[in-house]
Amino acid sequence: LNIKKEGSKLGKILIKKPGLLTTIQDNGRRGYGNYGIAESGAMDIFSLKSGNALVGNSLNEAALEITLLGPEIEFQNHSIIAITGGNLSPSLNRKSIEMWRTYSIYKGDVLSFGSCREGCRSYLCFSGGINVPKVLGSKSTYIRGKIGGNNGNKLEANYTLLIGEPIIKKKYFIRRMKKEFIPTYQKREVVRVVLGPQDDYFTDMGIHTFLSSDFIASSRIDRWAYRFEGPVIEHSKKGADIISDGIALGAVQVPANGNPIVFMSDRPTTGGYSKIATVISVDVSKIAQIKTGDHVQFKKIDIKEAQKIFKDREQFFLNLVK
């Protein structure tokens, strides 16, 4: 357990209202897929890492992942925070505040959220991080598996969470994300995919439908998967079912109904419907900000391009902490 030793001053925050789905998430839990334990972690890794960079944390530190309807939080100590990701109209003591920058917070301050203006999920990062024990190497909450974060639960009203002592000391020190790096969330996103591993389970027509149509996010979207609706993606004679095999982050599975499912952080580790493609890891963060009714279009790239995009993104994060 990585509870901090005496000497470092932990702060407290009180969850007055929990919001729709507020969970503790870091960059996920790796190495237990062969026991069926999901990776979990922030759905939008880009926003998690950016927020942590702003408040001076290590990039993979845990934050609160806030979904659509945000919580109301009372701070019981001084803190420094940043909110990144989808814009859920945050305000501090009832006054609207900006996204993608740091704020100094004082004892008694109340942070709350309003309507969803853009995207789907916000990340609330605290300088010094969140003080919960790591479970199987991660602070992430895995709700279905009932482990991690707040014992596998979303945050409830009247819960008190321990946060670290702020790392950035200067009280009025403001750090902002450069404008050009702040993503905008559209009602229609293009996400890049690498075809396979079972693209041979689809007809040419099926592949064409997949790559040229708009798909609409259904109401069945969660941390497990995004289920999209649109024109039916046609399977070949091999059919929709396969012998079950591993499901990677961003895998696009198409059951016999012909509608694509994109697998996210809390996904099953394996599955038995054919997978037409995988969303590249960098673009999984875009999917995480899609909500019911938003459109997505899948664009094919090859694996070399995908690796280049991944490396560029990693370099971007390195520059961010410099």
Site for other proteins contains 321 (CB under 8 A): no
- Across the chain, the runs of DSSP E, i.e. the strands, are 11-17, 21-25, 63-67, 72-75, 79-87, 90-92, 95-96, 102-105, 110-113, 118-126, 160-163, 188-195, 215-221, 225-229, 241-246, 251-253, 261-263, 270-273, 275-279, 295-300
Whole-angstrom distance, CA of residue 239 vs CA of residue 68 = 37
Report in angstroms how near the CB of residue 73 gets to other proteins at its nearest: 24
**Which of residues 15 and 147 has its CB atom nearest to other proteins in the complex?**
147
**Which of residues 20 and 174 has its CB atom nearest to other proteins in the complex?**
20
Q: Which stretch binds other proteins (CB under 8 A): 73-81, 95-103, 218-226, 228-236?
A: 218-226
Number of residues that bind other proteins (CB under 8 A): 49
Site for other proteins contains 36 (CB under 8 A): yes
308: Cα within 13 Å, side-chain hemisphere: 6
- What per-residue string of b and e applies to 33-45 under the rule 16 or more CB within 10 Å gives b? beeebbbbbbbbb
Binding track, positions 219-258, relative to other proteins; x by CB under 8 A? -x---xx-------------xxx-xxxxxx------xxx-
**Which of residues 102 and 198 has its CB atom nearest to other proteins in the complex?**
198
Coil, strand, or helix at residue 7? coil
Whole-angstrom distance, CA of residue 258 vs CA of residue 34 = 29
Q: What angle do CA 193, 198, 200 make, to 5 degrees?
A: 105
Site for other proteins contains 312 (CB under 8 A): no
Residue 239 CB coordination number (10 Å): 11
Q: Which stretch binds other proteins (CB under 8 A): 5-13, 71-79, 118-126, 302-310?
A: 302-310
Asked if residue 24 lies in contact with residue 141, where contact means CB atoms within 8 angstroms, the answer is yes
Amino acid at 238: K
The pair of three-digit structure tokens given for residue 250, joined into one six-digit string: 């961003």
Site for other proteins contains 33 (CB under 8 A): yes
List the one residue from 10, 16, 17, 32 that touches other proteins (CB under 8 A): 32
**Which of residues 179 and 304 has its CB atom nearest to other proteins in the complex?**
304
The continuous run of DSSP H or E covering 286 comes out as helix 281-287
Site for other proteins contains 35 (CB under 8 A): yes
List the one residue out of 288, 285, 289, 13 whose CA is nearest residue 129.
13
The pair of three-digit structure tokens given for residue 52, joined into one six-digit string: 């942590």
**Which of residues 67 and 77 has its CB atom nearest to other proteins in the complex?**
67
**Which of residues 4 and 175 has its CB atom nearest to other proteins in the complex?**
4
73-102 binders of other proteins (CB under 8 A): none
List the one residue from 55, 64, 92, 147 that touches other proteins (CB under 8 A): 147
Report in angstroms how near the CB of residue 170 gets to other proteins at its nearest: 33
Site for other proteins contains 114 (CB under 8 A): no
260-299 binders of other proteins (CB under 8 A): 268-273
Binding track, positions 171-210, relative to other proteins; x by CB under 8 A? --------------------------x-------------
Asked if residue 65 lies in contact with residue 25, where contact means CB atoms within 8 angstroms, the answer is yes
Report in angstroms how near the CB of residue 309 gets to other proteins at its nearest: 10
Site of interaction with other proteins (CB under 8 A):
1, 30-39, 133, 135-136, 144-148, 151-152, 197, 220, 224-225, 239-241, 243-248, 255-257, 259, 268-273, 303, 307, 310-311, 314
